[in-house]
Structure 1
Amino acid sequence: MTSTQHADLPDTQLPNTDVAFIGGGNMARSLIAGLLRRGMAASRIHVAEPVASLRQALAQDFGVHTHDTAEAAAGHAGLWLMAVKPQVMRSVCEALASIASSRQPVVASIAAGITAAQLERWLGGNQAIVRAMPNTPALLGAGVTGLFANPRVSAAQRAQTEQVLASAGRTVWIESETQMDAVTAVSGSGPAYVFLLAEAMEAAALEQGLPADAARTLVLDTILGAARMLTEAGEAPAELRRRVTSPGGTTQAAIETFQAGGFEALTARAIDAAAKRGKELSAAND
């Protein structure tokens, strides 16, 4: 697998086309907020959301155009961000097929497991498709998004799509679509793995007799500090682990217990299970 990585783009780099969000849920809200923070005019953003209360909140919070149908929003934009559930993606795309044929937008989807070929077929063919897999820290502007473009995506459209997704954090381009299920398994689902570790550490801390507030602070700030070391130290995780694991010490006792329980193999099986589930979603929604 080959990929390219990019940090957050400068604020001056914004899409030079209007953007339509098809679906106004949490991920769409985080991307909209990021675009507005970086200077994009609210008048250039259209959001399709069937739930009236959510449309009202989007209009009040961001000042963007809101629509009750996907067709109404998509007709205004050259970049569509498909933020609907995989189970309804086919019907939404088929309703947009005639507009896609006439406007020829770049269509970016954040639906897990739905392939570029499926999206292109449902939209009537001959479409520029980008698959995107952000993760939940995007809600804080601290996410990471894996991106794959089909051959119909031009360099300009690729840049426009990256400019939208980079508003929520870093981006990584994947050259082979077969690796997108792995992206989903590693980073899309990955925050939940960290949350599970935090949950288990906190429970163990309570069993050791620590007060609840102390246990929570110790666990959360330990994870936060370790994450900063991983991202800022510029060294491999194995080297950082080696430095804090003194021979015969407390950390070594814990690490050996993890490894005796098959920690690495269990992690590999969990990520493999998530990747396989992504493939199943594709087949189930075809």
Structure 2
Amino acid sequence: MPMRDPRHDRQYRQAGATGIIPAMKAQRTESARPVGDLLREWRRHRRLSQLDLATGAEISTRHLSFVESGRAQPSRDMILHLAEYLEVPLRERNTLLAAAGFAAAFRERALDDPALATARHTIDLLLQGLEPCPALAVDRYWQLVTSNQATLRLLTGVAPELLQPPINVLRLSLHPAGLAPRIRNLAQWRAHLLHRLRQQIDASQDPQLMALLHELQALPAPDADPANTVAASAIAVPMQLEVNGHVLNMLSTTTVFGSPVDITLAELALEAFVPADADTAERLRAMSTGS
């Protein structure tokens, strides 16, 4: 159903599932990979040479080479500096620090933690303010965090097991017992969702997201129906969802917190579905009043 923007992938575990990362010295284990190996892997994943990274991060190529080979131990600040340039997600930045024996730099609080009260209030205001448009918040793994009432009105007929927490909204969208039978342009929408999930995986290299992709790819895939395929001239791919005998044409928009320093907020995305035509706008309003 919703999609998050992979450029802002700062994945977040389900609210309440994790607590604050202790502010103590991290201890390396014999099985942990050296920080130099991890930095090299991120550099290569970003398709940068040592010269590219050294030039962009304004450090010497020699020093970078020594860090990657393990001949030099990078400082905490150097690790964070390189991670920032490489656009490493906050969760993985903590992994880099731990590999070098440093404490985590970024905390991960549950969304109901008092320290995040302002953020939670903002989320609730945004979701409520978007009524009658469906809107919801998802975490890094596409698990539903919260939603507005308009979203719930679209879930009629979905199999109960797909609505048991944690609810994965991608599975809910593409599963034959979920919304899939009611998505008129399912082949096109499925391709759109999987493409964006691949982009997210490319940015994060998260194995859990890879497993999710494999699961979704194994679900029945319909052939494209020319009658329900959006023209190439369209500005975006809508979701064409049938509700009560009428087709709602909705475009998705994504909102993320700017410059977060908490993993929870960094990995949170708000997804809203706005009407792509006047008829859909009117039907969403009618659904909100029960008419």
TM interval, shorter chain, is under 0.3
TM-score normalized by the length of structure 1: 0.27
TM-score by length of 2: 0.26
Greater RCO (CA < 8 Å, at least 6 residues apart): 2
More strand by percentage: 1
Higher fraction of helix: 1
